[in-house]
Structure 1
Amino acid sequence: MDEFWVFGYGSLMWNPGFPYEERVLARLGGYRRALCVRSYVHRGTEERPGLVLGLDRGGSCKGVAFRVSPSDWTATVDYLRERELVTSVYLERHVRTLLADGRDVRALTYVIDRAHPQYAGAVTVEEAARIVKAAVGRSGPNPVYVANTVAHMRELGIRDQWLENVASQIARD
């Protein structure tokens, strides 16, 4: 492997937590961004789960790809596994990713395990807003996670109407 890329679609886009040499807008086919993960640790608890983003089957997802220096590959994978695999709700995958400049690369990312008990499936905007508004976890309030993600996506020129609708519903309530 000559290059090592990581694809981020949620908080990883604005808070990667690892060093990188290049950051490029990218699109991943076959998966869509969704608030489909019941968060028992970072943005909720088992008693009052929050919702966080996962890559679920179908559609496509705009996000950010990070190229990591060879000297940082091992530490980056270790860090991501500790961050993303806390409850094993995600599956680690290397996926074909199209960079905004036309390059086609393979990137490490984390997709939802639909068989995991934390998989929330499809939820309505109203249901998602209700769940998110009431949840707080180790990494802070769930509404802050959603608002930060939407704000940073807008800064990057990435629009996700469904997620924006959830954020708007939370702000209205």
Structure 2
Amino acid sequence: MATMDGDFWVFGYGSLMWRPGFEFLESGLAWVHGYHRSLCVFSHVHRGTRERPGLVLGLDYGGSCLGVAFRVRGAAREETIAYLRARELVTSVYVERNVGLRFAEGGSARALAFIVDRAHEQYAGRLSIDEMTRLVEGGVGASGDNPSYVRNTHAHLQQLDIHDPSLAEIVRRLAAREAPLAETA
């Protein structure tokens, strides 16, 4: 999984895993240490609004995170980074970083990742499951509804055999809240 000819790696831990939006040569499971996946960003654009924020994932400080690393052609560097910046830096809640990663199959590399900025107004920090569920349930933004984002991310994590107890609990609560609505229809 070493890069050649100027190729570079991009690390995805949320929607980038199931909807990267850029061409890549290969992908693989990889660990990033020093950061963890967290539903810790108030979404004011993609999955909510300023008036009614949704909640999306951030790569927050501490712990480790298993996600997907994508190898991108060196010739596509500028185009790919421009796309990622337009997608991830809409409100500047993330900071672009070059992080070390360790591939599940062995080996290591450096990768471009977007880390949550804890000083940004959209940083939610650690919220209770009740509060996270409430925010997710009501969020709708330019990229769609917040429950779909959480369900898609959770389903993709399950396909990769990655366990995220918080997302699993939120998906369970959303399903339980929707079940009575389906029965009355």
Q: When the two structures are superposed, what TM-score results if normalisation uses the length of structure 1?
A: 0.98
Partner letter of residue 31 of structure 1? Y
Report the identity percentage: 56
Match of 1:110 in 2: 114
Q: Which moved more, 1:154-163 or 1:102-111?
A: 154-163
- CA distance in structure 1 between the partners assigned to 2:171 and 2:66 by the alignment: 18
SS in 1 for 2:61: strand
**Structure 1: gaps (5+ residues):** none
Aligned pairs (5 A) from 1:49-64: 49-64=53-68
The 8 Å contact of residues 129 and 169 in structure 1, kept in 2 or not, is answered as: yes
Structure 2 residue 12 is matched with structure 1 residue 8 = yes
**Structure 2: gaps (5+ residues):** 178-185
- CA distance in structure 1 between the partners assigned to 2:136 and 2:90 by the alignment: 20
Count of equivalent residues = 173
Deviating 4+ runs (over 2 angstroms): none
- CA distance in structure 2 between the partners assigned to 1:91 and 1:27 by the alignment: 19
Write the deviation string for residues 44-87 of structure 1: whole angstroms up to 9, x where unpaired: 00000000000111111110000001111111000000000000
Q: When the two structures are superposed, what TM-score results if normalisation uses the length of structure 2?
A: 0.91
SS in 2 for 1:116: coil
Write the deviation string for residues 80-123 of structure 1: whole angstroms up to 9, x where unpaired: 00000000000000000011111110000000000000000001
The 8 Å contact of residues 133 and 173 in structure 2, kept in 1 or not, is answered as: yes
Match of 2:174 in 1: 170
- The structure with the largest alpha-carbon Rg is 2
Q: How far is the alpha carbon of 1:3 from its aligned partner?
A: 3.2
| RMSD over aligned Cα atoms | 1.0
- CA distance in structure 2 between the partners assigned to 1:94 and 1:170 by the alignment: 35
1:24 to 28, 33, 40: 28
Q: How far is the alpha carbon of 1:2 from its aligned partner?
A: 3.8
